[in-house]
A and B are shown apart, each in its own frame.
Chain A
Amino acid sequence: MTAADAVAGAEAVRIDGLHKSFGTNEVLKGIDLTVDTHEVVCLIGASGSGKSTLLRCVNLLEPINSGRISLWGQDVTAPGIDPNLVRRQVGIVFQSFNLFPHMTVLRNVTLAPMKVRRVPRAQAEEEARALLGRFGLADKEADFPDRLSGGQQQRVAIVRALAMKPQLMLLDEVTSALDPELVAEVLDVIKELAAAGMTMVIATHEMGFAKDIARRVCFLEEGRIIEDAPPGELFTSPKDERTQRFLRRIVDAGRL
């Protein structure tokens, strides 16, 4: 039984008063956010608004200054928490893929299951092949990452995270580094995950995608969540003036 099953339908993520600074630069200025199990929440906002940092904090890749992050009811920012145990349950996919360049696709995917979950090699490879096949990468398992297109690399990165059977996926602008014609193949993968009930927090610049997939959209500006609403509301009748201004710029740029 997994942690998520134990509290199905309940809060997967709860963030209270999260502050995070890099030196004197305060990037997150008191974030409060909850994400229910099976819910998809999109974070939108300009570059530097704190979306990526927020995701990295949830995965404990960044130490926080104050506040609290709870996953499935357990405070993971408390002392004595093993970050490795948390990260097993929380997959993250980065903007720049970050595949291991010295390993084949298959090895990229099987490394963590074998070393962390201690799955035997044969089983890990079988699971990896099933996942790769599901996302149209069946014939790529023996390739090294730099032989793949950006879209393929990003799909491998998603598969690599999924191979740990996470209960929560954090996607950090996963299409921002892709050529426009490769964006769709990655977004399709994410849609499939959402349809399968994966809990996800997605930082994105793809407003159309956020509109389609998210149950809630959060607009961040200067380290604060300015507005948190269902996409139908946030995109059509944003309440806050700053949200309106941001969306107007997006529309002017032809991206919505």
Chain B
Amino acid sequence: MALSGSPPPGSPGGPPLASAGNQPPGSFARSGRGARLLGGRSGPVISTVSTLVVLGVLVAIFLLAPGAHSVEHLFLSPQHMWQSFIGDPAAGYYSVGAAIWLNIRMFIVAEILILVLALLIALVRQSVHSALFPIRILATGYVDFFRGVPLILVIFAIGLGVPALSLPVVSSQSNAVYGVTALVLSYSAYVSEVYRAGLNSVHQSQVAAAWSLGLPHRHALRYVILPQAVRNIVPPLLNDFISLQKDTALVGVLGTIEANKAAEIYSEQVFNFSSFTVAAILFLILTIPLARFTDRLIERDRRRRLAGAAS
């Protein structure tokens, strides 16, 4: 009895456990509004209503603002949006819709190169072989440097500096190539850290299991460690790539006509910013499917591993 403390209220004397059994536990159901709000079937209705309310409030704030009309004209004019989307070289501006293709191409090339370069950097930094020590130092310095320098400065440095070197071939590339180079240099530093986190997330016992079967380390990496590491880092990787899609717009500072630059030229020619809205919408159209695709990949992988083989 010394350990059981005072008996619960309403059970005078007697062993507490026995008396607890005599008491009805009461209802667990939530009463009042909470009960209805948490009800499973009304969930979609509630979320729709709350979304509409939030949206309505935001639209009302915008419409009631003193400058609403001029903002609407400057940023959301359907006529200007359409004009900047299709472009008119004769009038001195480019199609934002066409320019986004350059962003897409730069993104795809940069992404592939980043995935390869970042992996190499991560593997070098994770290596333990003493012969690789100098390269390891180099890789660490690389990551420190490019994570520390703003991307836009790297773009300027490459885009203005490399042509100024007047080297054959290297110095006569297009600004898009320099822009992609800068993106690859900068993003590889970030992505290599994501890879490194992924490699560290694979338990040492997996490495031991692979080694114990006689697999050389390169096979252990390729078949056992990397596949698990990559699975673990798909969300942060994709996150970086959504970022990269947007940052292709920075290459415009070199004068390359990508979507953002095309929008800027339009606004300077016509004194209307709706072209930027077009660029924003196009970037959204690019990034949102990538985000949903990531979600699906993660979900599929989770299901597959939990469900065993459905085949």
Chain A interface (Cβ within 8 Å of chain B)?
Answer: 56, 59, 61, 83-85, 87-88, 91-92, 94, 96, 98-102, 104, 111-112, 115-116, 142-144, 146-147, 160-161, 164
Could you say which residues of chain B place their CB within 8 Å of the CB of A161?
Answer: 212-213
Report yes or no: A100 in contact with B214, Cβ–Cβ below 8 A: no
Q: If A98-B206, A142-B308, A143-B309 touch, does A61 touch B211 (CB 8 Å cutoff)?
A: yes
Q: For chains A and B in complex, what number of residue pairs have CB atoms within 8 angstroms?
A: 76
Report yes or no: B208 in contact with A142, Cβ–Cβ below 8 A: no
Report yes or no: A146 in contact with B209, Cβ–Cβ below 8 A: no
Q: Which of A85, A102, A104, A111 contacts B213 (CB 8 A)?
A: A111
Count of chain B residues with Cβ under 8 Å from any Cβ of A?
A: 24
Could you say which residues of chain B place their CB within 8 Å of the CB of A146?
Answer: 305-306
Which residue on chain A has the smallest CB distance to residue B301?
A102
Could you say which residues of chain A place their CB within 8 Å of the CB of B227?
Answer: 102
Which residue on chain B has the smallest CB distance to residue A157?
B209
Could you say which residues of chain A place their CB within 8 Å of the CB of B231?
Answer: 102
6 extra interface residue pairs, beta carbon distance < 8 Å, beyond A98-B209, A115-B215, A116-B214:
A94-B208, A94-B212, A101-B228, A111-B215, A112-B215, A144-B304
Q: List 11 A-B contacts (CB under 8 A).
A: A98-B208, A100-B224, A102-B227, A104-B309, A116-B214, A116-B216, A116-B219, A144-B308, A146-B305, A160-B213, A161-B212
Interface pairs A-B: 8 shortest CB-CB? A142-B309, A112-B213, A98-B209, A88-B214, A147-B308, A143-B308, A87-B214, A116-B214
Contacting residues of chain B (165-197) with chain A, CB-CB under 8 angstroms: none
Report yes or no: B209 in contact with A100, Cβ–Cβ below 8 A: yes
Q: If A61-B208, A98-B205, A102-B231 touch, does A116 touch B305 (CB 8 Å cutoff)?
A: no
How far does the alpha carbon of A100 sit from the alpha carbon of B311 in the complex, in Å?
Answer: 20
Chain B interface (Cβ within 8 Å of chain A)?
Answer: 205-206, 208-216, 219, 223-224, 227-228, 231, 304-309, 311
How far does the alpha carbon of A87 sit from the alpha carbon of B208 in the complex, in Å?
Answer: 11
Report yes or no: B211 in contact with A83, Cβ–Cβ below 8 A: yes
With a 10 A CB-CB cut-off, give which of A102, A160, A161 has the most chain B CB atoms.
A102
Could you say which residues of chain A place their CB within 8 Å of the CB of B214?
Answer: 84-85, 87-88, 112, 116, 164
How far does the alpha carbon of A99 sit from the alpha carbon of B205 in the complex, in Å?
Answer: 9
Report yes or no: B305 in contact with A102, Cβ–Cβ below 8 A: yes
How far does the alpha carbon of A98 sit from the alpha carbon of B304 in the complex, in Å?
Answer: 19
Report yes or no: A59 in contact with B212, Cβ–Cβ below 8 A: yes
Report yes or no: A115 in contact with B223, Cβ–Cβ below 8 A: yes
Report yes or no: A87 in contact with B223, Cβ–Cβ below 8 A: no
Could you say which residues of chain B place their CB within 8 Å of the CB of A87?
Answer: 211-214
Could you say which residues of chain A place their CB within 8 Å of the CB of B305?
Answer: 101-102, 144, 146
Report yes or no: B205 in contact with A96, Cβ–Cβ below 8 A: yes
How far does the alpha carbon of A24 sit from the alpha carbon of B23 in the complex, in Å?
Answer: 59
**Closest-CB distance, B299 to chain A (whole angstroms):** 16
**Closest-CB distance, B85 to chain A (whole angstroms):** 44
**Closest-CB distance, B202 to chain A (whole angstroms):** 10
